[in-house]
Amino acid sequence: MNGPFHHLTSIKGQVALVTGGTAGIGGACTERFAREGAIAIAIGRDTAKGTRLINRLEREGHEAYFFSCDCTQEKQVQNTSSQILEQWGYVDIICNIAGGWIEAPPIEKITIEALQHSFDWNVTSKFLITKALISSMKTRGYGRIVNMSSTTGRRGRVDAALQYSTMEAGLLGFTRALALQLAPHGITVNAIAPGTTRTPRAERHSEERLASTARSIPVQRLATIEEQAHAIWYLCTPGASFTTGAILDVNGGSWTG
Ligand SMILES: NC(=O)c1ccc[n+]([C@@H]2O[C@H](COP(=O)([O-])OP(=O)(O)OC[C@H]3O[C@@H](n4cnc5c(N)ncnc54)[C@H](OP(=O)(O)O)[C@@H]3O)[C@@H](O)[C@H]2O)c1
């Protein structure tokens, strides 16, 4: 039965795309969207990982699809976007989650190639898929775009990669500028800035380091992927129509602005 706020909260039947949607925060978004009754489309590079998630969601009776694509590669993004538009004609939701960092060397050790790689992984990936699909949103006069940033883009952190912090801060500018461009078209563009969240990527760090990070967070623990997906889901709902150009901090109080 639909409640009185159904028109504000329901994304049932909407076409919801998640880059980096096969694991971690993106995987939780794919799962959340599918469970909300959306047509959930996950993009990732590893076909085995993507297929496993989609098969599980399908077995549970949800509608979910996987496309193998490296979001930093323009040709691959164009091909994947064309296939999506051929099959569904449009997307309602784009969650730009793919990105990350691996090592945090001092500035003298950061090569120009490493800086460029971080730019491509975190910024180009979001730019390319948005550019490829935006016309379909504009034509329908509706869309929800969420860009993944990080607490690291909000404040300095000694243990985070300098190149990554640079890109995450840049994404806030990308989000705000795109929000203004698209506001007259019924399309909202927001960013989410998570604090440390337990994901396969975060679990590459030692338990000791994760415990020390948890102690530094006012709520005294790391975030769960479901908490991040819940915040992202809100930004993707029809009722979030007056929220655009915003940065949603989901960090347990570790940066309060
Ligand atoms: N975890 C945290 O504490 C945290 C905090 C703040 C922000 N974030 C941001 O949240 C995002 C997700 O982080 P996570 O920790 O959930 O990462 P994760 O556990 O490593 O998962 C990353 C997902 O993205 C996919 N992916 C990575 N690069 C891709 C590319 N070039 N093209 C397409 N898919 C790609 C991966 O699949 P494949 O490997 O198969 O491609 C996987 O599905 C990142 O942008 C990260 O910077 C994370």
Over residues 45-95, the pLDDT tens digits come to 999 999 999 999 999 999 999 999 999 999 999 999 999 999 999 999 999
Dist. CA 24 → ligand 1 center (Å): 6
Dist. CA 236 → ligand 1 center (Å): 19
Q: From CA 206, how far away is CA 188, in angstroms rounded?
A: 38
Dist. CA 60 → ligand 1 center (Å): 24
C-beta of residue 206 within 8 angstroms of C-beta of residue 241: no
Average per-residue pLDDT in the chain? 97
Residue 1 binned pLDDT confidence (cut-offs 50, 70, 90): low
> Could you give the domains of the chain?
11-250 (3.40.50.720)
pLDDT at 114: 96
Nearest atom in ligand 1 to the alpha carbon of residue 70 is: 32
- Residue range 173-188: mean pLDDT, rounded: 98
Beta carbon of 201 within 6 Å of any ligand 1 atom: yes
Where is average pLDDT lowest: 41-55, 121-135, 202-216?
202-216
Beta carbon of 213 within 6 Å of any ligand 1 atom: no
Beta carbon of 25 within 6 Å of any ligand 1 atom: yes
Indicate whether 160 pLDDT > 90: no
Q: What is the largest CA-CA distance in the chain?
A: 60
Is 164 tagged catalytic? Answer: yes
- Residue range 234-247: mean pLDDT, rounded: 98
| Secondary structure (DSSP) of 149-189 | --GGGTS--TTS-HHHHHHHHHHHHHHHHHHHHHGGGTEEE
